[in-house]
Structure 1
Amino acid sequence: MAVRAIASLELYAIIALMTLIMVVTTEDDIPVGEVLMDDRPVILRGYDGILHCRFRGEPLAVYWEKGPDLASATKLVSWHPPTGGIRVQSYGIGKYNLTEDFSLVIHDVEDNDAGRYICIVSDFRGYELSNHTVATVKVPPQEPFPTIDQCPSGSTGSRANSCTLTTDIGDDTTELTCQALGAPRDIVSLSWTLRGRTISHQEPYRYANPDGETEDLKFTIDATPSYDPYVCSAILPATIRGNATASVIVKPAPITTTTEFVVTTNATDPFVGDPGNRSLGKGMV
């Protein structure tokens, strides 16, 4: 179908928050005296993973630990209100960071970062609350991801330009296939959007790889010409990288027209002399 191309990868952040009890949209939805955490989060090897800890009100202290229980857990990072204010600023010490909302960032995730994480909060009433979640480490999809199959190989990598395609003459649409290769099974998903609206709600096709742990994902649509980009997003699990995207602009086929040309020739009368005589003039060879 489409033949001309140059492609791109953009990044923008979106992380879904899930809880064991409910989906929380605002702090006011969190019951007093409870700490809510991600339900079975997946963090990707080699990326910076993020784990959320949510609670009502301003805390007096926040602690993150890792281990089977409070008695034997290893302390990772803690926060106490600074003089003159109680809102934390983002900071990092070594392997672990705290964000402004007290989420834990795990830098450069490795296999041994899997395990049970505990968030301990001294709340605004002075009560000590805690909750835990068990994080799993998975291999990330192969870079670059996602890619658009109709774009040149390698052109959808990081910092590349957006891909531009032109439909073939006589075609109203062109086929676009977004894919992510070597993704952890049942973790990553794909979606197509145009002008911020989802084009199709169908699930991408998933093809299991021989290793039993990863899969290839493909999502194909028929795209009509548009000067707004079609955006394919690879929706990732808990990571500060956010979703990875690749975009493509589909241009209509060039308009062809048929023009008739009338060719005229200026001829010189080969006869010279008296027109009545019409004798041929002399020539030199």
Structure 2
Amino acid sequence: MMMLKWTLIVGVYSLSLITSAESALVVTTNLTATAYKGRSITLPCRFEGEPTAVYWYKHNRTAPDAEPKVPVQFFQGKVFNEEEPRFNMTADYSMVISDIRIEDEEMYSCKPVLEDDSTGESFTNLTVIALADPLEPVVPDCKPTEPGKCVYEVVGVVTESFELRCRVDEVKPAVTLSWTAQDGTERPSEETPSGPDENGLFSVVSVFTVFRGEIGETFVCKATGDSVNGTSTLLVTVKYPEKKGLSGGAKAGIAVFLIFLIVIVAVVAIVYIMWKKRKNQKPENYPDQMQLLAPFQGDFNELAEKLRDYKPGSFSNLEKKEDRSWPKVTRLGVFGVTHAGKSSLVRSLTYSLKGDFIAVEVAQSHSIGGVTVIPKTFAITDHISVVDNRGLKDLDVSCITDIMDQMQGKCKLLDGTVDFPILVFDARQPVNALEKFLPDFVKATRKEFGSHPAIVFTHARNVGDRQDTIKAQATGMGALDQKIYFVENFTEDPTEPCFERRLEFLRMLKTMLQCADENLVIRDNKKAKGNGASNVVEMDSDDAPRQKGFLGFFKKK
């Protein structure tokens, strides 16, 4: 049975204006959209002003007079989606739908309400397409040789003719099937469609007659329709089975391969013996007479030198005043639940730069509001420190106050402030566990610095092809795509240099230090101008500066 995918493509805008005796609000949404099952999509809702409430409605096409559902809503600073957890809302009031399903094919509308009771409503018409997987048609018993090609072996006694069946199952909308010779000549065929079934899906079968004299030729089954992205083909070569058994050339090839394998084993054994002799040698202490650098070692050495020479403010892209006062040490704060991999991240950053594999103590301690009262500071260099906080009891939003105390220098156990926050989360755990904590954490960080925190997902090897899905979920909760990382921490002292893997950690560290430098500028400006002053620079390392005033953040010009 074929697997299904559903796709969403944004069309033109729709605009609605609702007027009343008192007020009117212009609301703009996309007029149409189309979707792939299993993916996420964002439906924007644009309007001017600060709302007290934003409602997203789901209307029933088959019963237009029925009361619409409210899958997600924003009210008094909070997002509510308990009945429809796949539906969420971003900071700009766009609706995010995850894991698209067939029942999501409806009409949606966005209705904001401002403080002065101004309101408006605009509609988006969502269409669902069930995409065939694979996209090309399928011929039963035809052995695939490469994408879009297969071989049909004729077995048994062949009469004057036999039938080939080409099919596409469980798609929406239905496709049309046709047969041609390889030169494009159309061949007679009989098409039998079926559906829709109980899930609203269609299947199509096309039967084609092959004559005995045509065995050895190639034929083409072509599917046409939206559910195969327009057109897809399968080249079917009809032939008799090849005789089994090894030829003289094949036997000679096997003999050559065995000799080659023996040579390879011998070379590996020699290399292993040489490696054993150098086992206790540190990667950075290779003899001076070695002329060739290991892969990635050049880039690694260059970036490592920059980080060793780093002082607070070195990586800032913002204005650099001559009289600006920089702290002696930049502190990065690591937060997360117990066993998320925080201590291993600290160890990996330290090892990647210094080459020393440290043992990070995981101490048991009491905590307040989920945050341990004994944060431990690790000095990576004289000017770079990482504060390793003990695990949160849970991801309760009450923990954010204690975290922000560290950012603002109110934690008596730290000599100074934490200049950039890093939230560590185990990628093997459901990302939905962050849906209440992460939006408020991002909002608090942006209020303090005007920039997003970093989100580090550990155990990256267990993620597989789910990185895009995890990113989409995290960004739907307010995280910034460019500040989401997937890492596999060093959990034991490596026996090889690992320059490529360490280089990725150093690149991440450099980006975090640049964000910390920009946060220091923001903090210094706020002290100089007062927390209530307008014209405070808001900056994410991947964005151009934006101006922040008492009405909030303005769009980039």
Which structure ranks higher in relative contact order (CA pairs < 8 Å, sequence separation ≥ 6)?
1
Which structure has the highest helix share of the two?
A: 2
The two structures share one fold, judged by TM-score above 0.5:
no
Q: Give the structure-2-normalised TM-score.
A: 0.22
TM-score (norm 1): 0.39
